[in-house]
Structures are given as C-alpha cells and as structure tokens.
C-alpha cells in the first residue's frame, strides 16, 4: 500500500477524485441543499425560443440627385434644383421663395446651411452620395441601415423588408436593385449576428442565467434554451429588441422623437415608492441631455407643461406618459438635466425587464419569434430520475460484463471504481466550468464509460498476456504497449468529435464536448493510475 501511495500517477488520481467529491458536495442555501451542477432545459425544465433575425443585404442602384429632388420637393410642395459639386463634396438645392432653417434637418440632414438669394433660397448639404442613399433608405423604411462597402455600394437593412417593397421605394426616385441575389439577399452580416448574440448573452446573464445556449444557424436564426425560465419571461427579454425611446407631445396627439436608449449613460436598479409604483432611474449622456433640453424648449414643454407630455416607449409600447415635473421644467430652462426616471406603474417584473433592456442595450436588428415551447419542471425532474437510473444501470452492466470476463474481484473492483471515478471527475469539471448538463451531455458521459472500460480492458489484457502479472521491465514494457494503443484510440475519438463540436449548435456540441473532456480525463488521469494500481494489486496477490 505504501508503494501505491508513493506513485505520482496514483497520487494525482486520488487528488483529482477528492477534489471532484468536494466540488460535487451539495451546498446549503435558503431552499435547502443544492448541487453546483447546472442542468439544461431537458433536465431542469424551462423554455426554448427560435428567433429569426429580420434584415437583408441590398445593393441599390439610384442617383442621389433624384433622391434629394423628391425629398425636398415633397417637403416644400414645389420643384427644386439639385446640383452635386464634387470639388466641395456637397449638394446644393435651390428653390423659389423662403423656407424654415430646419428644412434640411427635418429631412435627416443636420449638416446643412440655408442661404437666401434674392427671391430664392439655396440649401447646401455636407453629405456624400452614400450618405444620401442611406438616409433615404432609413427614412423610407423607418429602419436602421448600415453601410457595408462602396464597390459595389451595398447596405444592411436591419428590419423586415421584402424585395418588392424596396424596389417600390427606389422606383419613386428612378432607382432599382441590382439583379439577382446580389441586389437583395435575406439575412444579415456575421458581424451583426455576433453583435446580436453578445447583447442576448448580456441580457441573459443579467437575469442570472449562466451558460445559456445561444446558437446561430445560417446567419438568419438564433436558437436559445432557457432552463428554469417560463416562455412568457423568455419572450419579454429575448424575443423583443428592447428599443427605448423618449418622445415629446407637439400638437394634439402628435409627438416628436427626442432620443433612443443608446444615449443613456447609466442605469440604476428599479425602485418602488410607498404607493407601490416602480421606476427605473437612468442618467442621460451629455449629448442626450442636450437633445432632451432642446426638444423641451423647442416644443414649449418647459413653459406649457400640460400641453406637451413626455412619453417613454419600449418597443413602440407606451410605458409612461406625463407632463414635465415643475422643478424639472424650471431646471431645463437654465441647463440640460441628465438624471431621469422611467415609471412603469405597479409591475415590478416590468420594471426589471426595462432595467435589463436599458442596461444592456437594444438588439441591433429586429427579431421574430418563429417557434417556442416549454418543458415543465415536473417533466425535467422525471428526466433527471430516469437519467440517474440509466447511469446506475450502465455502471452495473459494465461491472457484470467485466466479472463475466475475468471472474476475479481484484480486477473487477478496481476497474468499476476507476470507471465510476471518471464519471465523478467529468461531473465536477462540468460544475466547475458551469456547463449545462442536458440529455446529450449525459449520453456523452455514458459513451465515455463504455470507451473507458474498453481502454481498461486493453491495459488488463496486455498485462495478463501470459496469464500472470509480470514485474520489472516486462511490466513497464507491456504497460507502455497498452498505452500506445489507448492513446491512438483516444486521439481517433477526439478527432471524430471535433467536427461535431465545431458545428456549434444542437445536441451535437454537448455530446462532443463531454466526450472529449471524458476521454482526456481518462487518458491523462484515470488510465495511468489504473495501470499502476492493478499491477500492484495483482503482484501482491501472487
């Protein structure tokens, strides 16, 4: 026994098993004892969502001069002349009569100068041809548009748009789309998909959900499993873009846009007052505070508060509307104000959802829920019991097969114990790295049990080649030969699992990840220790 404990391979094995037991010991909590293991949707219960990213890659073929003619003619109610001046890299629009100095700004061109010229007016736009086209697409589609490249000119439309609708918009200004799929391709860029996934990850982590499986398919779809979350909560957090907007009432039921949530610099936790109303305090950026003050002054909201209410919307749904507080209105007359509160009434859950959206930002593209479902907690508990029973049966079956082959407890007990220890170490690794165990992962563990026993049989048969356990150099030579076979088999298994892991979605990844981890634990820790232990035990009994 002393010789066994002095072997470094055996000591590493014992330390690893002891560490696994410590990691897997249930920890006390308010609801009793809980394991560090995290279970996936199959075993925990929860919901799943299938999201479609709404967007398209387009290549418009249109003259920016025609766009400006239409925009200014429609706004002014009269024809205009437009000239592109390459030397100064700007456009000049001339028309009869006078116009408000905000005429260009109202059309989405803030960098413009308005100059009277006798009975006419000249508007100079500091805009590029690409900027004019992008602005036209934004305003016509009421969508975010991202410029991609200049040769050929292409854009990413970040909303649900069809080729027919886009061609109709371009036809109004004498334009069209490039022919074929190059002109219109449904989907978004990989960068936008990654950005969307990162925002979703942050929102889910804000919910306290770690290692949520967010999987991307074909740059169009995102699949999410949310263990322990109801379908309703999942749809409220994940299935909506989370676009926050502040508007100010102008006249009657009309209102004007002031700012979006991207101009919020900081967000505090939701707070409730004595009457049960909840609000989310937030701080505007310097630019956002200036924009809010300007809108309040321009509309007269600071002087006539009751006629110009402030409204706050989340995904175009009104969550708050009220006049400016008297002290806030007085302060805005003097300077921009950064600190505000978004009120949501008596719904604390709604306040928490708003907090997450404001804190982590809106999704870069709109998403459509095309599929959803739920696994009840009771069904998840049933799956866990069935999986536990299946694991016990697997180990017992392995033990019976080994006993039938060798009929020697000195071989059967160490072999079964080694196999069981590998399961403990795999579970501990999963708990340590916060992997979610689902049915595919459990299948991987059971598969590792089978491959592990195969390796142990190879070691045992190689050492007992002549019916007895050798010693000295012969023992080491046979053990080395066995490990040559095992390492080749392990490498083959790992290489076979890598394509499944690289696919990155579905049950394949969980199965491949657990299988690779189990094989590495076996060949690096468990198998070397077993080879030494079985040799010492058999030599001691002869």
Q: Is residue 354 part of a domain?
A: no
- Give the end of a domain, one of 205, 237, 269: 237
Instruction: Let me know whether 178 and 195 are in one domain.
Output: no
**Which of 324, 345, 366 is the last residue in one of the domains?**
345
Q: 30: which 2 tokens?
A: 């308010």
Give the separation between CA 391 and CA 396, rounded to whole angstroms: 9
Count how many domains the chain has.
Answer: 4
Q: What is the DSSP letter of 525?
A: I
Same domain, 383 and 499: yes
Helix axis angle, 8-24 to 527-540, nearest 10°: 120
Same domain, 11 and 92: no
Quote the pLDDT of residue 166. 92
Closest CA to 185 of 4, 79, 59, 66: 59
What per-residue confidence (pLDDT) applies to 472?
A: 73
The kind and range of the H/E element at 539 are: helix 527-540
Domain shared by 297 and 222, yes or no: no
What helix, strand, coil percent values describe the chain, rounded to 5? 50, 25, 25
Contact partners, residue 372, CB within 8 Å, separation at least 6: 47, 48, 49, 50, 231, 234, 235, 239
CA separation for the pair 361, 264 (Å, rounded): 9
User: SS3 for 82-99, per residue?
Assistant: EEEECCCCEEEEEEECCC
With CA atoms as reference, report the closest residue to 395 among 454, 457, 449, 458. Answer: 449
What separation in angstroms does the CA of 224 have from each of 46, 219, 511?
11, 14, 17
End-to-end Cα, the chain, rounded Å: 15
Q: Read off the CATH number of the domain in which 276 is found.
A: 3.30.1360.200
Same domain, residue pair 199 and 170: no
Report which secondary-structure segment, H or E, holds 81: strand 81-85
* Domain annotation covers residue 181: yes
SS3 343: strand
CA 115 to chain centre: 49
Domain match, 382 and 530 both: yes
**Residue 343, beta-bridge partner list:** 279
* 395 shares its domain with 292: no
Token pair listed for 486: 């095992």
CA distance 408 to 340: 77
Say if 364 falls within a structural domain: no
Domain containing 525 — which CATH number? 1.20.1640.10
The tokens for 130 are 């690409």
Tokens of 422: 């590998």
Q: Are residues 221 and 313 in the same domain?
A: no
pLDDT for residue 32: 64
For residues 114 and 9, state if they share a domain: no
Residue position matching structure tokens 């001691």 = 540
Tokens 């069981």 map to which residue? 420
Residue-wise pLDDT for 384-429, tens only, equals 788 778 878 888 888 888 888 888 888 888 888 888 899 899 999 9
Buried b (16+ CB within 10 A) or exposed e, 363-391: bbbbbeeeebebbeeeebeebbeebeeeb
pLDDT tens sequence across 484-525: 888 998 899 899 888 877 765 556 777 888 889 999 998 999
Say how far apart CA 21 and CA 27 lie, in whole Å. Answer: 12
In a domain, 361, yes or no: no
User: What angle (nearest 5°) sits at the alpha carbon of residue 142, between those of residues 138 and 146?
Assistant: 35
d(CA 46, CA 41): 6
Residue 365 is assigned to a structural domain of this protein? no
- Which run of H or of E encompasses 133? helix 129-141
Which pair of tokens denotes residue 66? 């025609």
CA gap 186, 158 in Å, rounded: 10
Enumerate residue ranges in the chain where pLDDT < 70. 1-5, 29-33, 41-42, 45, 206-213, 228, 376-380, 465-467, 469, 503-507, 540-542
Q: Peptide bond preceding 449: is omega within 30 degrees of 0, i.e. cis?
A: no
CA pair distance 423, 446, nearest whole angstrom:
9
- Whether residue 316 lies inside any domain: the answer is yes
Q: Classify strands 56-58 and 184-186 as parallel, antiparallel or unpaired.
A: antiparallel
Q: Are residues 70 and 141 in the same domain?
A: yes
- 223: containing domain: 48-53+190-237
Q: What is the CATH number of the domain that holds 232?
A: 3.30.1070
Shared-domain flag, residues 66 and 175: yes
Crossing angle of the two packed helices 506-521 and 472-503, in degrees rounded to 10: 160
Q: Residues 41, 63: one domain? A: no
The answer to whether position 371 is within a domain reads no
Q: Where does 352-398 show beta strands of DSSP type E?
A: 367-375
* Interatomic CA distance for residues 251 and 202, integer angstroms: 39
Domain boundary residue, one of 120, 155, 186: 186
Residue 205 within a domain: yes
């Amino acid at each position: 026994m002393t010789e066994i404990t002095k072997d470094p391979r055996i000591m590493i094995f014992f330390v690893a098993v002891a560490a696994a037991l410590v990691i897997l010991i249930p920890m006390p909590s308010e609801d009793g004892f809980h394991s560090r293991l995290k279970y996936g949707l199959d075993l925990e219960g929860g919901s799943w969502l299938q999201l479609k990213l709404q967007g398209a890659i387009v290549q418009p073929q249109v003259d920016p001069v025609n766009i400006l003619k239409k925009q200014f003619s429609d706004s002014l109610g009269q024809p205009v002349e437009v000239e592109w001046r390459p030397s100064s890299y700007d456009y000049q629009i001339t028309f009869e009569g006078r116009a408000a100095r905000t005429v260009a700004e109202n059309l989405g061109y803030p960098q413009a100068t308005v100059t009277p010229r006798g009975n006419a007016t000249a508007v100079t736009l500091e805009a590029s041809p690409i900027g004019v086209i992008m602005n036209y697409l934004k305003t016509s589609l009421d969508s975010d548009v991202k410029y991609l490249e200049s040769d050929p000119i292409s854009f990413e439309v970040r909303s649900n748009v069809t080729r027919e609708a886009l061609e109709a918009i371009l036809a109004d200004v004498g334009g069209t789309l490039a022919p074929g799929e190059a002109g219109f391709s449904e989907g978004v860029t990989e960068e936008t998909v990654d950005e969307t996934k990162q925002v979703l990850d942050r929102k889910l982590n804000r919910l306290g959900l770690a290692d949520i499986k967010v999987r991307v398919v074909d740059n169009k779809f995102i699949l999410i499993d949310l263990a322990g979350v109801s379908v309703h909560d999942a749809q409220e957090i994940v299935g909506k873009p989370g676009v926050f907007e502040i508007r100010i009432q102008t006249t009657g039921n009309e209102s004007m846009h002031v700012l979006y949530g991207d101009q919020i610099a900081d967000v505090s936790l939701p707070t409730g007052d004595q009457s049960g109303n909840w609000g989310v305090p937030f701080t505007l950026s310097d630019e956002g505070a200036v924009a809010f003050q300007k809108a309040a002054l321009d509309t007269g909201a600071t002087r006539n508060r009751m006629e110009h209410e402030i409204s706050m919307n989340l995904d175009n749904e009104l969550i708050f509307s009220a006049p400016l507080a008297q002290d806030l209105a007085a302060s805005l007359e003097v300077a921009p104000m950064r600190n505000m509160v978004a009120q949501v009434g008596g719904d604390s859950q709604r306040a928490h959802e708003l907090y997450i959206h404001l804190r982590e930002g809106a999704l870069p593209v709109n998403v459509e829920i095309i599929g959803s479902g739920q696994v009840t907690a009771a069904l998840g508990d049933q799956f866990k019991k069935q999986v536990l029973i299946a694991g016990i049966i697997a180990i017992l079956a392995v033990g019976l097969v080994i006993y039938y082959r060798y009929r020697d407890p000195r071989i059967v007990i160490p072999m079964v114990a080694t196999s069981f220890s590998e399961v403990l170490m795999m579970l501990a690794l999963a708990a340590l790295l916060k992997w979610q165990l689902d049915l595919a992962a459990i299948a991987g563990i059971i598969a590792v049990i089978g491959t592990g026993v195969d390796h142990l049989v190879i070691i045992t048969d190689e050492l007992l080649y002549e019916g007895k356990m050798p010693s000295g150099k012969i023992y080491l030579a046979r053990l080395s030969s066995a490990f040559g076979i095992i390492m080749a088999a392990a490498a083959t298994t790992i290489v076979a699992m890598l394509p499944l892991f690289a696919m990155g979605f579905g049950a394949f990844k969980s199965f491949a990840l657990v299988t690779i981890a189990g094989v590495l634990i076996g060949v690096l820790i468990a198998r070397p220790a077993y080879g030494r232990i079985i040799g010492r035990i058999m030599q001691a009994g002869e």
